[in-house]
Each structure stands twice: as structure tokens, then as C-alpha cells.
């Protein structure tokens, strides 16, 4: 699905992402972990052709992402609020996204009823613009917009960060279902090691722009990750 070839991004003389080789196969669910500044968001942005790599290239389904638009037909992503049009109501925004994918409003409405539980009554028909929603609820709108596009590749940057525990669990179920039932490739970054090991079958650990671990999830993965992140603890 995604092939990263020798990619380097430099900011102020420092390589923030330096990945010689990475391949993500169709249907895999990837968990991307790493401390702040590890380069997760930068890598996401390069996969989405939002920033230019200084070296190397990223292929999606065998075609270069940079300068092309073919990947837009099967990719959906939510990285931050910068993806939302904040002066629209959630309904208007979702209709807009639906319209881009050739979905009628009725279809969008149908789809949104399946997300009623995920929205928990806080998104639709609340009479608010997206900018007036809390960060967590904004994230729900962004994730819903992704799901609405029925993507083959779904990329979420720290989706568990601002949402409430119930929604976190619902989101985990959605992600698992997407990957097991529909074979969607997912790339999700998170700081929550429990959640991320739960939803991913492969964990990629980044540190200062470099991938230092790339492991298939097993029963020992969580302990291994906790070990890595537990700095200087001795008990």
C-alpha cells in the first residue's frame, strides 16, 4: 500500500524524519508511537503530500504521492483541526465531504445514523459551528468525515488524545472492525500504549525521526513498549 523510500526531512539543519525504508502492506493496521518530536506528524504530512521531503519519495499503491492526486481517491486522514472548515456546522461539513465523494445528502444522513453512538448526541443538530465545539468533539467530526469517505487507507494522528473514555473505546471498536471486516489499511499514532497495541497488528516506534522498532504485535509488545518509554525507573 505505502512504500517509503529513503525519506529525509530537515528542519533548521536537523533531520526530523529519516526513514531509509518502510513498507506497509494493504490491510495492515499500523500503530505509530514515539515521544514528542519523534517525527510522527511530519511523516504523516509527507505521506499526505502536505510537506515536501528533502530526499527520497513515498509511493502509494506503487505511484509517487508527491505531485499526484490518485491517492486522494482512497485515502482519508484527520491530523488536526486544520483539516476542518471551522465556520461550517458539522452537518454542512459532512455534506460537503460527502458531496466530494459523490454521496447525496440522504446517503450521508443514512451513514451518520450508523455513527449515532460514536457521536453520543453531541455533534449533530446542536446548533453550533465546528469552531464552537470542544477539541474532542471536533476530532469526532474529523474522524466521521474520514469514515464517510469509505477509504482504503485511513490515517489518524493521535485520535485518542482529546476524546472521552467511552468514545475512545468506541473508536477502538470502529478501527478494529474496519481492519478485520473491510480490510482497510490503518495508520494511527498515539501516546496511549494500551489503546495502540490493542488496535494495531504492527507497531512502529520512532525516536528523533528514526524508526527504532518495527514489530508485530504480540502479547509481550505492550510490556516491551512500556519498558522503552519508562525512563530511568528502577523497580
Partner 1 sequence: MTSTFISHELKSFWRSKNTGKNIAVRVVMGLLILYLLGSLLVIGFALDKILEEVYKNQDIVAPFCGILLLYYLFDLLLRLQLQELPTLKVQPYLHLPVKRNTLVKYLSAVSMLSFFNLWPYVLFSFFIFKIIAPDSGLAALAFFVAITGLMVFNNYLALYIKRRSNLNGWIFLAVSAVLILVNAGDFLWHLYSIKDISYSFFGRMMTTPALALIPVALAAVMFYINFLFLKANLYLEDLNANKASSYKNSTDYPLLNRFGSVGDLVANEIKLILRNKRPRSALIMGLFFMLYGLFFYPNPAFKNNEGFKVFVGMFMTGIFIINYGQFMFSWQASHFDGILVSKVKFTDFLKAKYMLFTGVSTVAFILTIPYIYFGWRVVLIHFVMYLWNLGVNTTIILFFANRNHRRIDLSKGASFNWEGVGATQLLISIPLLVTPFVLYAPLKYLVNSNVALGVLAAVGVICIALRPFWIKKLEQDFITKKFKLAEGFRAK
**Among 67, 121, 165, 232, which residue sits at the site for partner 1 (rule: CB under 8 A)?**
67
Count of residues of this chain found to bind partner 1 when the rule CB under 8 A is applied? 35
* Alpha-helical segments (H) within 121-202: 135-148, 165-181, 193-199
**Among 69, 165, 219, 235, which residue sits at the site for partner 1 (rule: CB under 8 A)?**
69
C-beta neighbour count of 156 within 10 angstroms: 23
Query: What are the Cα distances from residue 232, in Å, to 36, 37, 213, 229?
Result: 18, 20, 19, 9
Report the phi/psi class of residue 8: left, alpha or beta, with left for phi > 0 and alpha for psi in -120 to 50.
beta
Alpha-carbon dihedral sign for residues 99, 104, 109, 112: negative
Footprint of partner 1 on residues 1-20 (CB under 8 A)? none
**Among 75, 137, 167, 186, which residue sits at the site for partner 1 (rule: CB under 8 A)?**
75
Output 21 or 73, the one with its CB closest to partner 1: 73
Q: Which stretch binds partner 1 (CB under 8 A): 22-30, 114-122, 128-136, 194-202?
A: 128-136
**Which positions lie near partner 1, rule CB under 8 A?**
45, 48-52, 67, 69, 72-73, 75, 77, 79-89, 91-92, 96-97, 99-101, 127-129, 131-132
Amino acid at each position: 500500500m505505502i512504500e517509503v523510500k529513503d525519506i529525509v526531512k530537515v528542519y533548521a539543519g536537523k533531520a526530523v524524519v529519516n526513514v531509509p525504508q518502510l513498507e506497509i502492506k494493504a490491510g495492515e493496521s499500523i500503530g505509530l508511537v514515539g515521544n514528542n518530536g519523534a517525527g510522527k506528524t511530519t511523516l504523516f504530512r509527507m505521506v499526505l503530500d502536505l510537506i515536501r521531503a528533502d530526499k527520497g519519495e513515498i509511493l502509494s499503491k506503487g505511484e509517487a504521492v508527491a505531485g499526484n492526486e490518485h491517492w486522494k481517491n482512497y485515502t482519508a486522514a484527520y491530523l488536526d483541526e486544520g483539516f476542518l472548515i471551522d465556520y461550517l456546522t458539522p452537518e454542512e461539513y459532512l455534506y460537503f465531504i460527502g458531496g466530494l465523494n459523490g454521496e447525496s445528502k440522504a446517503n450521508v444522513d443514512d451513514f451518520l445514523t450508523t455513527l449515532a453512538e460514536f457521536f453520543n448526541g453531541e455533534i449533530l443538530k446542536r446548533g453550533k459551528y465546528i469552531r464552537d465545539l470542544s477539541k474532542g468533539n471536533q476530532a469526532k467530526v474529523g474522524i466521521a468525515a474520514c469514515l464517510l469517505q469509505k477509504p482504503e487507507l485511513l490515517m489518524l494522528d493521535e485520535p485518542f488524545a482529546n476524546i472521552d473514555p467511552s468514545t475512545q473505546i468506541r473508536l477502538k471498536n470502529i478501527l478494529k472492525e474496519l481492519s478485520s471486516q473491510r480490510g482497510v489499511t490503518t495508520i494511527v499514532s498515539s501516546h496511549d500504549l494500551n489503546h495502540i497495541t490493542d488496535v494495531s497488528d504492527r507497531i512502529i516506534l520512532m525516536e528523533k525521526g528514526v524508526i527504532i522498532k518495527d514489530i508485530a504485535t504480540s502479547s509481550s509488545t505492550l510490556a516491551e513498549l512500556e519498558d522503552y518509554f519508562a525512563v530511568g525507573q528502577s523497580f
